[in-house]
Amino acid sequence: MHPLTRAGIAYIAGALASGKTGAGVFDYAHCKNYVFSGSVNHAYVSVFDHHRQCHITGHPEQLYDQGQEVFISIILSSTHFTGYDFCDSRAFCGDVDGSTVTFHEQDSMTRFSFRIL
């Protein structure tokens, strides 16, 4: 998954799990803050990515990332999420623990961490 899409998904997963939207996420892998705004709930997501100047919108199970022109699915169960990147045909999963989002790309077994701002 593209790193900027991953940051957006981490933000959305964190907001879905907590019920609150923050100002963005800090990506530990890239040592960078990414700013997002908009609304996130289990019925519909409409988030603006200020870094890429684009939207991520749709039902969580069928989100569209306009910046990368890809569809992504997220399914949340309490604080655990699973999903699929239809562009790269890759599954991912993760956990939300307070303000920390841990993200695992299953094919590469790579782990990423984000902090909700």
pLDDT at position 109 is 84
Q: Which pTM does this prediction carry?
A: 0.94
Assign 3-class secondary structure to the chain.
Answer: CCHHHHHHHHHHHHHHHHCCCCCEEEECCCCEEEEEEEEECCCCEEEEECCCCEEEEEECCEEEECCCCEEEEEEEECCEEEEEECCCCEEEEEEEECCEEEEEECCCCEEEEEEEC
Domains contained in the chain, number:
1
Task: Identify the band that residue 2 occupies on the pLDDT scale cut at 50, 70 and 90.
Answer: confident
Q: Let me know: does 37 contact 50? Beta carbons within 8 Å.
A: yes
pLDDT, tens only, 31-86: 999 999 999 999 999 999 999 999 999 999 999 999 999 999 999 999 999 999 99
Q: Which domain holds residue 96?
A: 3-116
CATH number for the domain including 52?
2.40.128
Q: Hey, CA dihedral for 40, 64, 104, 81, is it positive or negative?
A: positive
